[in-house]
Amino acid sequence: MRLFLTLILSTLSFVSVAAQQDFYKTFGEYTIQYTAINTTDIDPDVAKQSGLPRSKKIGLLNIVALKDEIQSFEPSMIKLSAYNLLGQEVPLDLLIHKEQTSVYYLATFRKHENDNLWFKIDIQFTPESKVESFKFTKEVFIQ
């Protein structure tokens, strides 16, 4: 399983660096890294092993929560939303992938034509902390 995760993350890292779509948001000692890509950018073998669909009409949102910029952890609450330019909600299918020292939130979404999508991430780092929210936009293309 560790090999699977290494393959998928290296694929996502390569794609995000190549497309310059690597983003992060910092809240004190916590950092959220997020990337949205086309699932056709994922290696077919990696997608098959992970159960992720590959289609020109499906995108992938990848979220990782870090503490002190290095240690992955599972926040108390995370909610992911996506909306098109008309304000219509785009359903997200969330997959949480846990390893010994890492937690990854992978959400697939359907793409309709070329579109700009707004993603909203609500996260509560600890049960005692307030809910933090932020949004970002991503132009998605049907290739």
Predicted local confidence at residue 18, as pLDDT: 41
- Which residue is listed with tokens 């049960």? 127
CA atoms of 18 and 115, how far apart (whole Å): 21
Nearest to 42 by CA among 29, 59, 28: 59
Beta bridge partners of 67: 30, 71
CA atoms of 43 and 76, how far apart (whole Å): 31
Predicted local confidence at residue 44, as pLDDT: 92
Enumerate residues 6+ apart whose C-beta is below 8 A from 50: 4, 8, 97, 106
Predicted local confidence at residue 9, as pLDDT: 56
Per-position pLDDT tens, the chain of length 143: 554 455 455 555 544 444 444 589 999 999 999 988 889 999 999 888 888 899 988 999 999 999 987 778 888 899 999 998 889 998 898 888 887 888 889 999 988 777 789 999 999 999 999 999 999 988 876 66
